[in-house]
Structure 1
Amino acid sequence: MIQPVRLALALVLAWGAATPAVAAPVERADRKRSVVVASSPADALPVVRVAHDTPTLFLFPAPINRKTLTFDESRIRVLDAGERSVIVQPVADLPEGERYEVGVFFADGRAPARAAFSLVTDPAEVDTRIDVQRPELTDMACPVDVPRTPRPEDFVLLGFVDKEGVTATLIKPYDDASQGFSIVSAIAYRGQGWVLVDATIRNHPGRSIWEPREAVLTGRAGLPLRARLVTVEAGEIVPGGSGRILAVAEVNQLSASPVFTLEMVGDGRMLTIPNVRLPKVASGGTP
């Protein structure tokens, strides 16, 4: 009677030795830390460790534009987005080697304009709270915002393009001999809440170097529209040379196909571009 008992005990021990042990789930260590957002498109995104069973809270040092929040909905859930906070949680632990970006624009537009993070899953740690820090501009830095290369979705998220699309009209070449300018080519664009004139200007030989500093669009009725100027490459246009200048104005409402005069003032001379016909608003999303 003793032998069967010994045999059964031996079989149990043998079975236990042959069956691989099931590893107990490892509990991840919670971490709260600060990260600095990338200051330029060339910088690597800060890495944040996330887990499917733990929400991760991002606290921002300035208000964010929640409409510009971008993420992969198939992998990441946004549980909440506030004026200065975002809470995310992956649908499932991210496989090893996979990273997913979460990004949002700051509301003030100051550089760096966008905060973006690379999300990964770490078997040992998870970030439960991230205090986002924004690098300050150095004394040598240019105060103009230089964000990463824009993506198509940015224009929609920021509200510059909607279902109405963008429309455009050509502006006839124009020569202003009295002031020493020629309009080589120009085109007017209109989108959601904005108009833009893109002009290539030639400074006549024998004239002084010219750089535009102020711009105004004046219509047949209503108040003038003050525009901001964006120069492409060098700001100054040398005698006999050409330069490309963009004049951008923010608008709420415009009458259908209004005709404006664009005036650019700088360095003792004023460039006038007459008959700037701003495009009609598109209908049905067709430019």
Structure 2
Amino acid sequence: MHHSVSAVLLFLFLAGEGAALAQSPSSAVALSVRRIELVSDDAQPAAEVAVSPGLSTVFLFDSEVSREGLALEGRERFAMVDAGLNTLRLVPSEAITGGERLKLTVRFQDGAAPASATFVLVAHPARSEAHVEVYRRKRRVESYQEEVRQARIEAEQYKEENARLRAERSAPDGLTGLISTAVLSGRGVDFRDLTEGVTQAPGGAASKHLVYAYRTARRVAVEVTLKYVGDAQPWTAVGAMLRGKANEEMKVLRVWQSGPVASGPAVQRVVVEAEAASESPKGPFTLKLWDADGRRTVTLGNVTFP
């Protein structure tokens, strides 16, 4: 009885206006193919490319590059650096920290201008650009057509996201809101206490105290109660990722925190809500939370849903 009441109270709270901080749509979907065009002008600014621990970022060049001419700042913080004639695959290790900026320079073999290209790798706790195409010569028409096609797909995704947010904002609060948006859809709320089974990676910005999981017909949520670790500054989660064993990600809709985790006896709750159909996998998932600058994180493993 206590479990069912707690679950209903949680979703009533989530449905209330102002009860959550929405994760931006751009951070909720995977980044598509990135295309970078080089010019012969030496003053061209270095392009920033997002990388993340354990995730692969592959550069594809339209000209052959020199393996000996590769210069990567902080190379020891990468689990893999695999350079080919036209490709470069990078996999950062857990040693890289969010917000870190590392310079990457590649040199081309033919001596034509530009002779080299420089990028700034920006570390993020959970997001990376998986595929980066670098063009030194004039791009083919097909490449531009594919870019336009992808832009249309992304625009449609944003349109759908905007429509969903508008529909939720116009819905009434409380239980009526849950019914009107079909979140419950005749199923109710399933609840599971994950406190004993969930693991936490060392060095987190806060310590987990309680972990609960919830599922409705269309949504899942993880509620984590966090404690102060003793030597950290106040910490607030602004983003979250739920990733499965095969690197599949659930679409995070919002992240809400009751208050900053700070010194003192008080604990704070973080709720991560994600979109999931009833047939979605139940886990296990890895939950990663990060703060505004992405440097201090909380990572929980073995998260499952009812």
Range class of TM-score, shorter chain: 0.3 to 0.5
Question: Could you say which structure has the higher strand fraction?
Answer: 1
Tell me which structure has the larger Cα radius of gyration.
1
Q: Which has the higher contact order (CA 8 A, sep 6+)?
A: 2
TM-score (norm 1): 0.43
Question: Could you say which structure has the higher helix fraction?
Answer: 2
TM-score (norm 2): 0.40
